[in-house]
Amino acid sequence: MAASPDHCYRHPREETRIRCSRCDRPICPECMNPAPVGHHCPTCVGEARRSVRRPLAPIRRLRRLSLTTILLAVILAVFVVEIARGGLRDLGVLVDMGAMVPALVEDGQYWRLVTAIFLHAGPLHLLFNVYALVIFGNLVEEAFGTVRFAAVYFVTGFAASAASFAFGSEGRVAVGASGAIFGLLGAWLTYNWRRRELSMAQANVRMALLLIGINLVFGLSVRGIDNTAHVGGLIAGVLAGLAAEGFGGRAMRTASRVGGLALILGGALALVLWRIG
């Protein structure tokens, strides 16, 4: 004997003899979702989807995390280690942690040209660089995308260290992300200069030039600031901004991006070899 018809729980006027195989609610043809056995109602399908999404939520949040935020977290974490080891009172701690010291680089410790950009000499030094990275890191990352932003940041940071090494005094102890930040500022200047027909880009060019001028004058006026790293990072950044966008068609753009950034890196390496030789 056939079961008497019931009414769909979402559409009370619709008669049906089908029930959800998961919760046993009556469902009409419009509400049926095929399942391995029978049909599921929209409510059960929604619950199943949410149960799958919940474990993936932290992964999705991690994917949305910008590289700028990750760099900031690393820089702050390194500074906490500096404080814990007494780096604010003892310059030797910064040297032990990877500060750029020309004499040590000449002895083969080339990794210092990279590690130095994650170290800072004090809270004020850190504050200025963190503030600048928050502003220009996000701008450049949004403009170029995460991969090209990473390339610009590390290539210009290395170029800044290479300039400091090549033209600095033998006993200099150089630390700070400011060379890489000048690189981002140079790349941002180039990016907007190529779009100077737009009023917003014109305003960004003026702002970038003003900030570059202020920081260079400040660097020349205050003792202890590594101006060679700033200038080296800025020049590398202007060139990296051109390279990161590339030229020509799609295939040519990819090749010109990689080739351009490789040339900048090669120029920085040439400075290192020149100083060593």
Q: At what angle do helices 123-132 and 178-193 cross, to 10 degrees?
A: 20
128 phi and psi, to 5 degrees? Answer: -60, -45
Please give the helix or strand (H or E) that residue 16 lies within, else none. strand 15-16
With the C-alpha atoms ordered 253, 242, 140, 188, is the resulting torsion angle positive or negative? negative
Catalytic residues: 178, 230
Polymer length of the chain: 277
Query: Helix axis angle, 199-221 relative to 178-193, nearest 10°?
Result: 150
AA identity, residue 17: R
First to last CA, the chain: 98
Measured CA to CA in angstroms, residue 189 lies from 192, 207, 237, 251 at distances of 5, 9, 9, 25
